[in-house]
Amino acid sequence: MTRYCIDPATLLHLARSGQRAHPSHQLVAPSALRTQALTLLLPLAADGELDDRAVLELHTAMTEIKVRLLGDRVSRRGAWQIAREHGLEDLRLAEYLAVTRLQADALVTTDAELLTLADGVVPLADTAALIRP
């Protein structure tokens, strides 16, 4: 079994595309994943790109994707250390790196800022890896 840590943008990508991770993979993420993914939809609703019904449908699709959510003391401590090492002002991105280090084989993200931060810190994979066996 391959374990992938996914970020909010990746969860949203899976929900929008209707794709699911291959059964041989396990998805993991920090406990704030779904709230952060829903937050990505706020500007789209505010701009009228999506109506509330469409947002709620995506929210339902996101909650149907099986993800092991982690928020334990060890993950938080790892996020703190990563944030301090990289001069980050908050723990949001560091949490994904910490969970990847502790629980995953690779991080899957389409977020440019997280990709830059993750380079050389944790292994990376693309979204296509999620659906391949």
Residues 92-106: pLDDT tens digits? 999 999 999 999 999
Q: What is the pLDDT of residues 33-63, one digit of tens each?
A: 999 999 999 999 999 999 999 999 999 999 9
Element (H, E) at 45: helix 33-46
Span between the terminal Cα atoms of the chain, in Å: 9
Q: How far apart are CA 94 and CA 38, in angstroms?
A: 19
Residue 6 has a CB neighbour count (10 Å cut-off) of 29
Outline where 47-131 has alpha helix (H).
Answer: 52-63, 73-86, 92-103, 112-118, 128-131
Q: Which residue has the tokens 């703190």?
A: 80
pTM higher than 0.85: yes
CA triplet 69, 28, 114: central angle to 5 degrees? 105
Amino acid making up residue 8:
P
pLDDT at 83: 97
* 2-131 to CATH, choices 3.40.50.1010, 3.50.50.60, 3.40.50.10890, 3.40.50.720: 3.40.50.1010
132 and 29 in contact (C-beta within 8 Å)?
no
